[in-house]
Amino acid sequence: MTELTNRQYFLASRPVGEPTPDNVACRDVPLAPPGEGEVTIRNLYISLDPAIRGWMSDAPNYIEPITLGDAVRSSVIGRVVASNSPDFAVGDVAMVMGGWEQYTTVPAGMLNKLDENAGIPLSLFLGVLGPTGLTAYFGLLEVGQPKAGETVLVSAAAGAVGSIVGQIAKMQGCRVVGMAGSEDKCRWLTEDLGFDAAINYRTCGDYRAAISEACPDGVDVYFDNVGGEILDAALACLNRYARVAVCGWISTYNESELPPLANLWQLVARSVTIRGFVILDYLDRFPEGIAQLAEWVMAGKLQFREDVVDGLDNVLPTFLRLFDGSNSGKLVIRIPE
Ligand X SMILES: NC(=O)c1ccc[n+]([C@@H]2O[C@H](COP(=O)([O-])OP(=O)(O)OC[C@H]3O[C@@H](n4cnc5c(N)ncnc54)[C@H](OP(=O)(O)O)[C@@H]3O)[C@@H](O)[C@H]2O)c1
Farthest-apart Cα atoms in the chain, separation: 66
> Nearer Cβ to ligand X, position 2 or 256?
256
> Nearer Cβ to ligand X, position 103 or 223?
223
> Nearer Cβ to ligand X, position 82 or 215?
215
Which DSSP string do the residues of 43-68 spell out, in sequence order? Answer: EEEEE--THHHHHHS-S--SSPPPPT
119 contacts: CB under 8 Å, gap ≥ 6: none
**In 3-state terms, what secondary structure has residue 57?**
coil
Nearest-angstrom CA–CA distance, 111 and 77: 9
**In whole angstroms, what separates CA 58 from the centre of its chain?**
20
Nearest-angstrom CA–CA distance, 12 and 204: 40
* Min CB(250)–ligand X separation in Å: 4
* Min CB(256)–ligand X separation in Å: 15
Give the other-Cβ count within 10 Å of 236's Cβ.
17
Q: Are 49 and 119 in contact (CB under 8 A)?
A: no
* Min CB(47)–ligand X separation in Å: 9
> Nearer Cβ to ligand X, position 65 or 107?
65
Q: Are 193 and 163 in contact (CB under 8 A)?
A: yes
Binding stretches for ligand X (CB under 6 A): 49-51, 131-132, 135, 156, 158-162, 180-182, 185, 225-226, 247-251, 277-279, 322-323, 325, 327
* Min CB(322)–ligand X separation in Å: 4
> Nearer Cβ to ligand X, position 99 or 131?
131
Closest residue to bound ligand X by CB: 159
* Min CB(337)–ligand X separation in Å: 25
